[in-house]
Amino acid sequence: MLRRYAHIAALLALLVVEVAVIVLSVPMLVLSFTMGLVFLFPWQTMLVRRVAALNRRLVLGWTGVEIAPPYLPPPPPPVPQADGMYRSDRTLYRTPRMPAWNNRWKWLISDPATWRDLIWLVTDPTVKIVLVPVLVLVPVRGLRIYALWSRLLLGATAASRLASQVSHLRRTRNLAADSQAAEMRRIERDLHDGTQARLVAIGMTLGAVEQLVDQDPAAAKALLAKARDASSETLTELRRVIRGIHPPVLAERGLADAVRALAMDSSMRVTVDVDLPNRLEAPVEAAVYFAVSELLSNAARHGDASTATVDISAAGPNLRVTVTDDGLGGADPAKGSGLSGIERRLGAFDGVLALNSPPGGPTTVTMDLPWALPGNGARKPSRLPRWKTFTVIALLATAWCPTFPQGFVAAVFKIIGFDEKSWFLALYLPPAWQWPGIIGMITLGVAMHGLAIWLSSTHDRDRWLEAASPARLWC
């Protein structure tokens, strides 16, 4: 309890910071839009955003209520034209400095979260003062109500979530395109350096056979034997290239059998354990297959490993793949070990890669692909318990009374000096206690509304957070 009161004291102490920022922000805004000092606006906006970010961190640490930042994604850096100039609207610049500044200014002024932050900054001191009785009497509930208020103005909106998802999809699309281009370059290199060279050699051998078939049949037979061996090697090379594009066993029998086939072909002793409720989508299967293939190849070639284990399992709606080997360790994506390519491949599905490879081994690579299991992520929405339903209905049905008739209406009667006390309870108190009574009524009504909202919004919170995750776009 003492810790809660310490949190409340810190929350109220932030009033000093907020008032100072308000005193500093208002003149900066006025100078920006009336005197043409537009360079002050980005500084003012970022100052307010830092205060809002501090509030989000404190609310999360004190109440566990996470408030996602609502800001639109920043603009990309300016790209030069063919002539090397940078365009901003109808003006050309030699350097990207001014276009970048213009884009940043437009981004800040057009983002609704910029003005929501400013509204929060101006109104938050009043809200804190109104909530003081609730914070003192029931600190846990008071902090929760304040957290809901903060999330109302500082939380992400549907537009900001959509913009973030679009930006995320754009990044993953670029990663997928880069990965596909790299695969195409690898296939082209393999065909050019391997298969094409072998076919040219076979053609030259058959040409020599054509010249020797009448003059030296024995030599012609020997060359034909070489051509037959070369054709067999070429067929093997083509099969390897085809497996590099999309292995037939993966398309026909699924990920489990394809990874077991990899284990059988490996020079290491590989143990495979696959526990999946059903088959994955073909693109996900291909991404996981090639990732496991690359990891096993790295373990054998670079890690000098003799044994490895591959575990593929479901973690709810997510797919988890763990590859462990007893090699030398010390794997580093920056050393060109293929891990960066795996990350790009997984990034197309919002997947992440975690590496633990101390010097001396062992090396463990864990890959998580969210919402990769079709038909396993949906959960039936759970209903509010009966007692919560009745409590929410009762609060919403009665909270209007202390808030409006006994609160705001009584305050109006008090201000205009209306003598009729009617049924306004606070006006029957001694004059010195009337305003505290009115404020207490308003505080009680707001607290009842806040409690009803809190009971509804925190029910089955994990399911709603999962439903709002950008990773659901890949389902």
**Inter-residue contact 167 to 470 (CB < 8 Å):** no
Mark whether 318 and 434 lie in a shared domain. Answer: no
pLDDT band at residue 456 using 50, 70 and 90 as cut-offs? low
Mark whether 279 and 338 lie in a shared domain. Answer: yes
206 in any annotated domain: yes
Token pair in block for residue 117:
């932050």
Mark whether 13 and 71 lie in a shared domain. Answer: yes
User: pLDDT value at position 243?
Assistant: 61
Span 363-389, pLDDT tens digits: 999 999 888 886 544 444 456 677 777
Q: What is the DSSP letter of 332?
A: -
337 in any annotated domain: yes
| Among candidate residues 25, 23, 20, 54, the one with its CA nearest the CA of residue 42 | 25
Mark whether 258 and 240 lie in a shared domain. Answer: no
Instruction: Give me the number of domains the chain comprises.
Output: 4
Mean of pLDDT values over 332-339: 70
Mark whether 201 and 289 lie in a shared domain. Answer: no
pLDDT band at residue 307 using 50, 70 and 90 as cut-offs? very high
User: pLDDT value at position 251?
Assistant: 80
**Inter-residue contact 370 to 351 (CB < 8 Å):** yes
Of 137, 168, 199, which one is at a domain's C-terminal end? Answer: 168
Mark whether 221 and 343 lie in a shared domain. Answer: no
92 in any annotated domain: yes
**What mean pLDDT is reported for the chain?**
80
Continuous segment of H or E residues that includes residue 443: helix 431-457
User: pLDDT value at position 311?
Assistant: 94
Span 33-91, pLDDT tens digits: 887 788 888 889 999 999 999 999 998 888 888 888 888 878 888 888 878 888 877 77
pLDDT band at residue 465 using 50, 70 and 90 as cut-offs? very low
Mark whether 88 and 149 lie in a shared domain. Answer: yes
Mark whether 67 and 130 lie in a shared domain. Answer: yes
**Inter-residue contact 241 to 183 (CB < 8 Å):** no
Of 202, 227, 245, which one is at a domain's C-terminal end? Answer: 245
Of 143, 168, 193, which one is at a domain's C-terminal end? Answer: 168
Mean of pLDDT values over 422-434: 82
- The CB-based long-range contact list for 378-385 (8 Å cut-off, 24+ gap) reads 379/463, 381/460, 381/463, 382/459, 382/460, 382/463, 384/455, 384/456, 384/459
Structural domain of 349: 254-369
414 in any annotated domain: yes
User: pLDDT value at position 468?
Assistant: 38
Mark whether 131 and 42 lie in a shared domain. Answer: yes
Q: Which residue has the higher pLDDT, 192 or 218?
A: 218
User: pLDDT value at position 172?
Assistant: 65
469 in any annotated domain: no
Mark whether 154 and 184 lie in a shared domain. Answer: no
User: pLDDT value at position 325?
Assistant: 93
**Inter-residue contact 439 to 433 (CB < 8 Å):** no
Residue type for position 103: N
Mark whether 7 and 155 lie in a shared domain. Answer: yes
Tell me the HSE value of 60 on the side-chain side, using a 13 A CA sphere. 12
CATH of the domain at 297: 3.30.565.10
289 in any annotated domain: yes
**Inter-residue contact 372 to 349 (CB < 8 Å):** yes
464 in any annotated domain: no
Model confidence at 272: pLDDT above 90: yes
User: pLDDT value at position 240?
Assistant: 67
15 in any annotated domain: yes
Span 195-254, pLDDT tens digits: 777 788 888 888 888 888 778 888 888 888 888 888 887 787 776 666 666 677 888 888
User: pLDDT value at position 168?
Assistant: 63
Token pair in block for residue 327:
């090699």
Percent of the chain with pLDDT over 70: 85
Q: What is the DSSP letter of 278?
A: S
